[in-house]
Amino acid sequence: MKYKYILFDADDTLFDFRLAEEKVIKKSLDYFNISYVDNIVDNFRKINKELWKKYELGEITKENLQVTRFKRLFETLSVDEDPDNFNDYYLEQLASESILINGAEEICRVLSKKYVLAIVTNGIKSMQEQRFNKSTIKQYISNIFISSDIGYQKPQKEFFKYVFEKLEVNDKNSVLIVGDSLSSDIKGGNNVGIETCWFNRYNFTNDKDVKVTYEIKNLYELINLL
């Protein structure tokens, strides 16, 4: 057996973050009496993605990211609303949405019989923990590693070195990371010399300077791959 440890990203790898996100954005807008307009979810995702890239590069803090994304969104809508209050409500609702990607529970159940499974995430601590604790995959996951607990984030080497130490990894060749993000999951794997599996549900093009060991379109492919 080549691998002993499988590191899973959380959002859009095991958890269907896009589905939960759209649902909660609409719910939050309604709660704050802000009119829903076309493309608002897409606009938010564009802003959010840009800020998360900056977080991965260490250019902004996670706290700054959380508030700035809604501040910018409200500016595009010409809405006068407190982004702090909106973010608090948004995160509270998002934490309650423990929606799994199709196949995630079965894959974790099957793989946990042969491998040590762990989650590695840059996500927001309170949301990740609450959602994870509510999920049906909790029983199959040995550890959840959150960047804010570690003090480093994917794709930084220090993040993965911490994970390896806690899991008592002696051979990096025994570790595989599975994730949807080229810039954090796959690049992070490259940075520490472990093999990678890109979960490419939406048929994106690899336009990054990263090496992908495997590419899958759905989680069930992992069974045959491993």
Q: Which residues are catalytic?
A: 9
Query: Residue 23's closest CA among 46, 50, 41, 38?
Result: 41
Residue of 135, 99, 130 whose CA lies nearest to 117? 135
Whole-Å CA distances, 25 to 35, 47, 133: 11, 14, 22
Query: In the numeric block, which tokens belong to residue 210?
Result: 């990263």
Could you give the CA distance from residue 115 to residue 141 in angstroms, rounded to a whole number? 10
C-beta of residue 1 within 8 angstroms of C-beta of residue 12:
no
DSSP-derived 3-state class of residue 29: helix
Tokens 């940075």 identify what position?
191
